[in-house]
Amino acid sequence: MIDIKILRRSPEAIVEMLRKRNMDFPVQDVIELDKKMRNIKTELDRLRGELNTASKRIGIKKAKGENVDEELKILKELSDRVSVLEDEFRAVEGELNCLLLKIPNIPHESVPAGKSSEDNVEVKRWGSPPEFDFDPLPHWEIGKKIGILDFERGAKISGSGFTLYTGLGARLEFALISFMLDLHTKEHGYKEVLTPFMVNEKSMITTGQLPKFKEDMYKIEGEDMYLIPTAEVPVTNIHRDEILPEESLPIKYVAYSPCFRLEAGSYGQDVRGIIRQHQFNKVELVKFSHPETSYDELESLLEDAEYVLKKLGLHYRVVVLCTGDLGFSSAKTYDIEVWLPSQKTYKEISSVSNFEDFQARRGNIRFRDSTGRVRYLHTLNGSGLAVGRTVAAILENYQQKDGSVRIPDVLVPYMHGIKEIKG
């Protein structure tokens, strides 16, 4: 949630921000509701003052044995008026908050202007694409040939967008999860947490999934519960409604979780394989940072996610998202895109974002600084990494002419010594 003071101070800046984000939003409605709410509050404060004065006057008269019928009548009228205004205030406040929850975050000044992913800016590359003396196959064909991905039975069990991992496919998935958790805890200093995989509505509002992306969420019918779209949601809500000591920052968490997304709309070229699924595994990195150092933390978070791909020997590039492609809650996002030889293209495998105080305001997550002042902290998160997409990248980049797939050296201990998967 953006700071309402910014909108009051310079509404034109919010209008311009929304224009850069390709959003048409009734900013004037927000301004008018805010003004109406403040006017009601002013009147409420005045009437409550009169109520207080009237009550004291009645007390004095009663002590003197004087008649207070007229004062009681006035007190009743004031109380009724206050009650009506309180109801009106709550209604306007609710309407205003509903609109504020739909306003995206303000992009950081370093975010490039643009309308779509075509305008994202590449900032670096690591490694080189592998060279093959044969035509590389897509991961879904490889997975079927070596018997580790069963799309037909996955669809039979649950429907389209679900995959059954079998044998060494399941082993590879869990090997990657264990490897990533070990890397981030032992080398990068994150604290591992295992969270619930269902959260309440308030948790989803905190991170920005609701109300904006309700159509993409799995709701538990009849309950205030949603299946999580990412571990970012429960992990960020660990400190909801808390005031943290300044010296505890930054706090760094890593969490494995399954992720559940309806993924409304067309998948395009990702309709096949395991790039875009309704259920997938992910290792998530979340930071709670001091506002003054959050952009340094963003750069280190990016390096932590990149390091996974470096250890796996997978070629990738990093792009910074433009204003038109920036996520709803983010102030700045880097996407790490891994190389997929079969498509001769890069595919997102991690998004690393700084939300500044946007999520902290929604979740009331604060810290007390050295002067005793209570302030909103900054939240950040990044995939470290999306596991299914990492499996896809390994299958494609490590495929061999005989149809087998070599296991990256760093994963061999997690695969119980197995160095390749054969059909």
Catalytic, 261? Answer yes
Using only C-alpha atoms, what is the Rg of the chain?
A: 27
Q: What is the pLDDT of residues 104-134, one digit of tens each?
A: 999 999 999 999 999 999 999 999 999 999 9
Q: Which of 294, 329, 389, 396 is catalytic?
A: 389
Q: Which of 260, 210, 251 minimizes the C-alpha distance to 231?
A: 260
What does the block give as tokens for 325?
A: 């492609």
Burial (Cβ within 10 Å: 0-12, 13-18, ≥19) of residue 47: middle
The angle subtended at Cα 365 by Cα 361 and Cα 370, nearest 5°, is 110
Q: Is the pLDDT reported for residue 245 higher than 50?
A: yes
The verdict on whether 348 is a catalytic residue reads yes
Q: Which of 171, 276, 361, 362 is catalytic?
A: 276
Q: For residue 266, what pLDDT is reported?
A: 46
Which of 203, 330, 342, 351 is the catalytic position? Answer: 351
- Number of C-alpha atoms within 13 angstroms, CB side, residue 90? 5
Inform me whether the pLDDT recorded for 193 exceeds 90.
yes
Name the active-site residue from 43, 201, 263, 348. 348
Q: Percent of the chain, pLDDT > 70?
A: 98
Q: How many CB atoms lie within 10 A of CB 200?
A: 13
Q: What is the mean pLDDT of the chain?
A: 95
pTM: 0.92
